[in-house]
Amino acid sequence: MVDSYGRDINYLRISVTDRCNLRCRYCMPEEGVKNLGHGQILSLEDFARLVRIAGRVGIKKVRLTGGEPLVRKNVVKLIEYINMVPGIDDLAITTNGILFADQAEELKKAGLKRVNFSMDTLEDSKFRYITRRGQLEEVKRAVARALDLDMHPVKINTVIIRGFNDDEVLDFARLAIRYPLHIRFIEFMPVGDLLFWNKERMMSSGEIMDVIGGTYPLYPEKGIIGNGPAKYYHIDGGAGSVGFISPMSNHFCAECNRIRMTADGKLRGCLYDKKEIDLKQALANGATDEDLQQLFLKAIARKPARHNMNQGWGAQNRRKMYQIGG
């Protein structure tokens, strides 16, 4: 389905829960958040039905995220459901990895094709600091398991924050040389706990590329499977690649192919757009498949031309990344 700006919208990101087992400092407050109650979130059956309808309006790729998608009960069942929807040819997950290793095989069997792990540091004590409670070892185990199971391409998301992990940029690049991993540096966005972080913390993709390029020449790389806006580069002798996602310094809205669904059943055209369409309410009112299909079409038609995140610094957003789905 083509939107008002000529973009083919074929990718749906679903936040299956707003809950998380970590408390990354740039994402969630220490005390956690007032989670949505059972009655407020979509059931697995609702999600499955909505994905089926999304498939009818041209969605071909689905990513489950959150919050932490693996804390959602029966997420394996949901993956099984979605895997059976005709037309959906790519099913992936974005996870902090803490709960991945032990269920990796089951997830793969259910139809999960690809995994993106979030890992902002390669040092144990810094990992404990930034996540407030996580063990880096668990994430490393998860990544190794995904590689063992050949869930290629295995990607790592890293948000570089000046003064926290900007000294590890080359260590991450070396990881992509040594292992078949695709390390994606994501620019820090003003969507989290803005009371704590500020604009000076953001390191742009250009700056990160300069750091890596100063030691390892970078060669543009094509052909890494994905639906996103990352620009990938190969390093001589490297098994993997490094990628750059630049929502702040070089927004990619003209190529954006996604819509988002929140755990409480709201459809959004953009991470940063406050306009939402309430599918949960529609379901409660007994909407037919045709009604729901119209709501998807409306969300696509309303998708904004671009985000205005660069004006967002210092403003408190009503909805956070863990609620909308990062």
Choose, by CB under 6 A, the member of 44, 88, 91, 159 that binds ligand SAM. Answer: 159
Among 10, 95, 241, 262, binds ligand SAM (CB under 6 A): 95
Q: Is 73 helix (H, G, I), strand (E, B) or coil?
A: coil
Residue 217 beta carbon to ligand SAM: minimum distance, rounded to whole angstroms: 27
Strand 231-235 relative to strand 181-186, pairing: unpaired
Starting from the edge strand earliest in sequence, which strands make up the sheet with 90-95, in order? 218-221, 231-235, 241-245, 181-186, 154-159, 114-118, 90-95, 61-65, 11-15, 258-261, 266-268, 277-278
Interaction pattern, residues 41-80, with ligand SAM; x per rule: CB under 6 A: ------------------------xx-x------------
Cα gap 268→300, rounded to integer Å: 9
Residue 246 as a binder of ligand SAM (CB under 6 A): the answer is no
Write down the residue that tokens 């979509």 correspond to.
42
What is the SS3 assignment for 284? helix
* Contact window for ligand SAM (CB under 6 A) among 40-48, 89-97, 267-275, 293-301: 89-97
The answer to whether 96 contacts ligand SAM (rule: CB under 6 A) is yes
The packing angle between helices 44-56 and 75-83, to 10°, is 20
Residue 53 C-beta: closest distance to ligand SF4, Å: 27
CB of 292 to ligand SF4, least distance (A): 27
Name the amino acid, one letter, at 322.
Answer: Y
> What is the contact surface with ligand SF4 in residues (CB under 6 A)?
20, 22-24, 27-28, 66-68, 96, 118, 322
Residue 265 amino acid letter: G
259 binds ligand SAM (CB under 6 A): no
HSE toward the beta carbon, residue 200, CA cutoff 13 A = 2
Residue 58 Cβ vs ligand SAM, minimum distance, rounded to whole Å:
24
Tokens of 14: 């679903």
Residue 121: CB minimum distance to ligand SAM, A: 11
- Please report, as ranges, the residues that interact with ligand SAM according to CB under 6 A: 20, 26-27, 65-66, 68, 94-96, 118, 157, 159, 186, 188-189, 191-192, 321-322, 326
